[in-house]
């Protein structure tokens, strides 16, 4: 259940961050509400996850997965280009998240 909550927090953060360009500096109500509610929900879920897992591990996984997914959303939704260096950097982030989850003794498996 903990990892489901963490995944939901990541999805909420990605949705909120993807809505930010459409807020136009929080002058458009709809996208602004999506961003504010999405971030609020993401942080609420993170607070539940940190009851079980160490906050450093939770934040590393949440931010790493969020970075990769927001970059993918920018590419797919907004046509933002990713060069080879960006793709390699994203690969390293994915590798780090996998190492934490598969090999670290800090995470209960």
Give how many domains the chain has, as a whole number: 1
Residue range 5-34, pLDDT digits in tens: 999 999 999 999 999 999 999 999 999 999
Give rounded-to-5 percent helix, strand, coil for the chain: 80, 0, 20
- Whether 108 is covered by a domain: the verdict is no
List C-alpha distances in Å: 82 to 16, 46, 61. Answer: 21, 29, 22
- Whether 109 is covered by a domain: the verdict is no
Residues spanned by the domain of 16: 2-103
Dihedral angle over CA of 68, 65, 31, 26, nearest 10: -90
Q: How many other CB atoms sit within 10 Å of the CB of residue 101? A: 14
- Whether 31 is covered by a domain: the verdict is yes
- Whether 26 is covered by a domain: the verdict is yes
15 Cα distance to chain centroid: 9
Place of tokens 């982030």: 93
Residue range 32-88, pLDDT digits in tens: 999 999 999 999 999 999 999 999 889 999 999 999 999 999 999 999 999 999 999
- Whether 70 is covered by a domain: the verdict is yes
């Amino acid at each position: 259940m903990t990892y489901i909550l963490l995944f939901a927090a990541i999805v909420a953060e990605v949705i909120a961050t993807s809505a930010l360009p459409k807020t136009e500096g929080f002058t458009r109500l709809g996208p602004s509400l999506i961003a504010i509610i999405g971030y609020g929900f993401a942080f609420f879920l993170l607070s539940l996850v940190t009851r079980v897992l160490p906050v450093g591990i939770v934040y590393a996984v949440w931010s790493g997965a969020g970075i990769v997914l927001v970059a993918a959303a920018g590419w797919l939704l907004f046509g933002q280009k990713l060069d080879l260096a960006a793709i390699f950097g994203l690969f390293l982030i994915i590798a780090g998240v996998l190492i934490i989850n598969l090999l670290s003794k800090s995470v209960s498996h």
